Amino acid sequence: MTAAESTQAGQPVRLSKNLKPHWVWAIALGSAVGWGAFVLPADWMDTAGPMGALLGLAIGGGLMIVVGVSYGFLAKVFPVSGGAFAYTLVGFGRTHAYICAWFMTLGYVSIVALNASALGLLGKRALPQVAEQGYLYTVAGWDVYMGEVVISIVALVIFAILNVIGGGDSARLQFYMCLVMVAVVAVILGGVLASPQGQASNMEPLFNPGTPAIAGVLAIVAIAPWAFIGFDNIPQTAEEFNFSASKAFRLIVWSLIAATAIYLAMIVATAAGAPWQDELAQQPIWLTADVVVGALGPAGLVLLCVAAFMGIATGLNGFYVAGSRVLLAMGRAQMVPAAFSRVHRRHGTPSVGIWFVLAVCLIAPWFGRTALNWIVDMASIGFTFAFAYTCACAFRMFRWSGQKEVVEGSASTTRKLLAAAGVVVALVFTVLLLAPGSPAQLSMPSFIAMGVWILLGIGFYVARMRHNTSVTDDDVDTAVLGAPRPEWSRRV
């Protein structure tokens, strides 16, 4: 398909409208939960104690709902691919939109890669005789095996093909996998609490004695942009809704509530099943698995592996969706080569973006999870930028109650204040991740990775500057939004 063929009456070919509400909810939930809920409770308890981890994630989920107010309303007004990229374009123009999308793309792609590598990690516990075949080398303390690399690559290829074949097919599969994940988590939690090992006293002390309670809670709150980022896959897919985009906010809220519940359930199951400090002192490879097996026997390991596999697979699938949609929107804006704006003639999917995400992610399994974690930690900063830009755009759009509406429902003091609160939340997350001495400060390798990515972004922007000046703002707006930017957004 040529670039000329990808337009209809001057408009880019739009994606197929085949996503049902419960499928979209599942895309967001599966992306938000991922592998962390099943692997990281021990790390979170080590940081803040059981109650600190519970409070931190509950607060983080609540703060994400505040941010979600802006995302939900903007998705209703601008039901197009691109999410925060499109909203930043509306509110602040092309340069800011490019900055936002540059970090979003890295974040989405790195989480696809991390979820794929998590399957290798799962294989090391469930099928070590397969995953630990063919030792290759060690990167930053992580032993890389050919077995786990192959597992990751196979998963990446399978989900890329599923996403190319059809967004509806992959979304339907996502929904069924989420149902299985939710059901299994409920069984695990109920089983641990009902077992002889399940005791509330195992959760004491509630906070880590070696860390001030508030510092521990803040360190957990700071991971919210990473832990809950999947909710923004709802506005990413708004162009493909086969229902009214006015439902976007409710879907965001329910996906965040469900994700928070799963995180909290797995922390409680891990903490209540055995004395958490004693277990951590033994430096277990996978504490949650040890606790569940101790409470439920071998069947517990099977259940946990099923839940973890569903979480990993839904995260992998969901961020393929998000990453390819951002690249599609950037292609329409001609910020990246126009090939990314092409829609598959038969399947109606952004196939070029999907194959690009696959190509980049195929490199990642060879570097080990430690190096990938540096990149993902750094990418959290990019997501906070996206939150800030989106909420700031919504703040500009909302009017105080009684003022003339620019779009239906925009005259609302409550919504305007929530948009302002969303900007503050994003800035707080940024400070927690960057400020020296912060309990959640990024590691030096993550700062280095961020610097490299910023330099690459500047270089790519400069390289395309001549081309970008030949394209008018109205051309870009029409390609991304379907119409020139609204008048209210042009006033500073």
Among residues 192, 341, 336, which one has the least CA distance to residue 267? 192
**What is the span of the domain harbouring residue 356?**
15-486
Q: What is the pLDDT of residue 329?
A: 93
In a domain, 8, yes or no: no
Helix axes 84-92, 41-77, angle to 10 degrees: 50
352, part of any domain: yes
DSSP string, 418-456: HHHHHHHHHHHHHHHHHSTT-TTPPPHHHHHHHHHHHHH
480 within some domain: yes
Q: What is the DSSP letter of 346?
A: T
Rounded to an integer, what distance in angstroms lies between the CA atom of residue 215 and that of residue 203? 19
For tokens 């991304």, the residue is: 480
pTM over 0.95: no
Residue 263 is predicted with a pLDDT of: 97
Residue 32 has which token pair? 């938000």
Q: Is 134 left (phi over 0), alpha (psi -120 to 50) or beta?
A: left
Return the pLDDT at 1: 36
d(C-alpha 369, C-alpha 114), whole Å: 7
- H-run or E-run covering 24: helix 21-33
Residue 184 falls inside a structural domain: yes
Residue 421, domain CATH? 1.20.1740.10
- Residue 84: inside a domain: yes
pLDDT of residue 3: 37
**Residue 61 and residue 259 in contact, taking contact as beta carbons nearer than 8 Å:** yes
Please give the tally of structural domains in the chain. 1
Question: Quick check: is 407 in a domain?
Answer: yes
Condensed to tens digits (0 to 9), the pLDDT of residues 188-236 reads 999 999 999 888 999 999 999 988 999 999 989 988 888 898 899 999 9
Residue type, 69: V
> CA Rg, the chain, in Å?
22
> What is the pLDDT at residue 179?
96
pLDDT of residue 9: 47
Residues 6+ apart with CB under 8 A from 466: none
**3-state secondary structure (DSSP) of residue 14:** coil
pLDDT value, residue 491 = 58
- Report yes or no on 492 lying in a domain: no
- Is residue 451 a part of any domain in this protein? yes
- State which residues of the chain have pLDDT below 70: 1-11, 167, 491-492
**Predicted local confidence at residue 472, as pLDDT:** 87
CA gap 291, 274 in Å, rounded:
6
Predicted confidence at residue 307, as pLDDT, reads 94
